[in-house]
Amino acid sequence: MSGSAASSSIPSTMVGGMYAPTQTASEGPSARGSSGNGKGRSITRSRSGCFTCRLRRKKCDEERPSCKACSKLGLKCDYRAPQWWATAEQRAKQKDRIKDRIRQTKVMEKEGSLKEYMDRIRALAERTPVTVEYDFSRPVFVEQAQPQPQPQIQPQPEIFAAPLPTPITPHDANANIRLNVNVDASNVAPTAPLYPESSSSAYTSLNAPEAQTVAVAAPELADDDWFGDNPNYDTVAQPVPPVNAPTVPPNRALSSCLRYLISVDDCDRRLFDHFVDNVIPLVFPILETHPRASSSISEVFHSMQSNRSYLQCCLSVSAVHLKTSLGLEDEMDYDIMKHRYEAVSRLSRTINHSSGQMQVMDATLAMIFYNCSMSSSDDYLPDISWSEHFKAVSNLVTTLNCTPTQFNVSLITWIDILGATILGKTPKFSHTYRTKHLSGTSSGLQQMMGCDDRVMYLISEIACLESLKLEGRVDDMTIYSHVSALNAQIEWTEPADPTIEVLYSSSGVVRPDQLTKVISTLFRLAARIYLLSLISGFDYYDPSIINLVASVTNILQCMPAGPQGFDRSLVWPLFITGAYSVPSSAFRKVLGERVVALGYLGDFGSFGRMYRVLKELWKLTDNPTPRPSGAQSQIESTTFAVGANNQLQQPAHERIHWREVMRRNKWDYLLI
């Protein structure tokens, strides 16, 4: 039946695999007889349509970047001649691939895996969570109101649970803080000195307003005691998975040692081997530099062995990486979607069963993290957005009967905090991060992604402040007060010895302590830029912001570039720095050079998506309006205003925010 329906929709002008000249196909009485009820119409197929629609002999609406027909069927939409358009033989092969993909899409739509999974995620989200009310009179950190003794931390058996030495912030409301920004006098309390006197310090000294006790209150959150406040958190941890990473003999791939431990169909063996040998090192580059990385990698292998949905996700991601690394068109699309839908289908069957919640969490986190690490910046295949997946995770964790593994805790914290900054929302577990920061408890972030846990916790606080600002729940005075307090907290995370040393030992081995020190420094600088951008009157051309961007540029030079470097672990700080850089900044040139040095590794994953957003943002903000022609126009276009201190200021124009750029282009990216 489906075959006859499909054939009936094929126009009679189809000839072989070649595209017929532009013509009009009549569907009126002349073609079907006089019984057409007068509804005959003409359809003109233009040569300006996408090449996929041309090959399929279908009308193209020519929408960019993807027409509706290709988007609906999950097909690659090309407006430039693809490789397969060169010969009739290649077109015929491509046509067969398209038929297979359409058939696959129809079957998957019939099964309804994606829709069923989305419905169950929404059902989980609609469950009324236990909420916690926050008092707006509370300070950002408890120590600001009254110094509290540090709670006793139980001995931690794992490196991920090591205590963090978080100093107590001075609680004197009149204490000077270092805040490197010029503040608009019309938007801040008039009692505050707005333009500080010159200082030789890297950051100017500025007295904060006296209203230091106004709190940054997180919006209502689901009960997240499981995540850090649980009294059993430090003692009842998940046991080490039984599958240990085997010792790999020299000149032998790791995948060859796992073939008898993890069952995979013969047709999927290539994808399995590629994931183990090539994908894992790419997604966990920082983790692999630490001596105890094998326990975390073993957890990945354990999930692949015992969780079929997790395994299907890994196979799908492996196909994605093969496609991007080999520069393929759509040859791997069938395998990508086959395993992606199989993973989602298995999740849909187990998501409401309490016995399988931990497996659902493992697989869902894998779908979020692996896909954002490997997917191309112009991925056209149907998928579920990372934010929808994370809704399932955040709702699942509140109903868990056991403590998540440290590996999962680290992944959730990483995704939650940085994902919240991308969305402009409060992190789901911000209260837990605040509690962990005060108690000096680690989430294992430094070992997994390279940044000091304390810096990440403070980024969570900044995200809370921005969320309240976007919701209109805080005024400029309150924002300024909390920017001052958070700026002081960021200073407390500075290392005692700020010297940047060589990242490699004399034997050529990466020194993990120095690597995480440099990465933490870059995140710290980006966090300052992100924080200061919240102040009303923020100016990209302010010397303090330019200096912060320049500092990132200088420190970035200490990191090795190219495939052996760690640039793909710096997506968030590079993105924030680039988003608030000026056209003349050396940062843009340095970043472009490092993208070139990465080769194909700079074209996909979070890094490739980050650079795509930055390029579009720079294009829109550097030239917001067309420049007029003529000599007089050139003089007018380069006219600068003179400020109160007789300094030249940049021409005023409204800058588009990077979130608006992503929204316009429908880029639902997780940039971590």
Residue 400 confidence (pLDDT) above 80:
no
pLDDT tens by residue, 533-567: 999 999 999 999 999 999 999 999 889 999 999 99
Q: How far is CA 123 from CA 57, 252, 340, 442, 613, in A?
A: 41, 47, 22, 32, 33
Maximum separation of any 2 CA atoms in the chain, in Å: 91
Q: What is the pLDDT of residue 552?
A: 97
Q: Report, as an integer, the average pLDDT of 559-576.
A: 95
Looking at mean pLDDT, say which of 96-105, 220-229, 638-647 comes out highest. Answer: 96-105
Q: What is the DSSP string of 135-164?
A: -TTS-SSHHHHS--PPPPPPPPSSGGG-B-
Residues 6+ apart with CB under 8 A from 613: 575, 658, 661, 662, 667, 669, 671
Question: What average pLDDT score do residues 283-292 get?
Answer: 86
Task: With a cut of 70, say whether residue 5 has pLDDT above it.
Answer: no
Long-range contacts of 593-596 (CB under 8 A, 24+ apart): 593/561, 594/556, 594/561, 594/565, 594/567
pTM score: 0.71
Q: Picking from 243-257, 420-434, 640-654, which range would have the lowest pLDDT averaged per residue?
A: 640-654
pLDDT: which is higher, 198 or 99: 99
In this prediction, residues 95-111 reach a mean pLDDT of 76
Average pLDDT over residues 336-357: 81
Residue boundaries of the structural domains of the chain: 51-96, 267-404, 405-502+510-520, 539-623+660-671
User: Lowest-confidence range among 33-42, 406-415, 451-460, 631-640?
Assistant: 631-640
Q: Identify the pLDDT of residue 273.
A: 93
144-184, pLDDT tens digit by residue? 333 333 333 333 333 233 344 333 333 333 333 333 433 33
What pLDDT, in 10s, does the model give residues 76-90? Answer: 888 888 888 888 888
pLDDT value of residue 655: 82
What does the alpha-carbon distance between residue 417 and residue 190 come to, in Å, rounded to a whole number? 34
CATH placement of domain 51-96 = 4.10.240
**pLDDT, mean of residues 54-59:** 88
Asked if 539 and 183 touch (Cβ cutoff 8 Å), the reply is no
Give pLDDT tens digits for 406-455: 899 999 999 999 999 999 999 999 999 999 999 999 999 999 999 999 99
Q: Which residue has the tokens 């149907």?
A: 382
C-beta separation of 553 from 587 below 8 A: yes
Residue 478 confidence class, pLDDT cut points 50, 70, 90? very high
Burial of 514 (0-12, 13-18, 19+ CB in 10 A): middle
- Residue 360 vs residue 245, higher pLDDT: 360
- Asked whether the predicted pLDDT for residue 597 surpasses 70, the reply is yes
Read off the pLDDT of residues 39-48 as tens digits, 9 standing for 90 and up. Answer: 444 444 556 7
Which residues, including other chains, have CB under 8 Å from residue 619's CB and lie 6 or more apart?
none
CB 460 within 8 A of CB 434: yes
- Please indicate whether residue 108 or residue 8 has the higher confidence score (pLDDT): 108
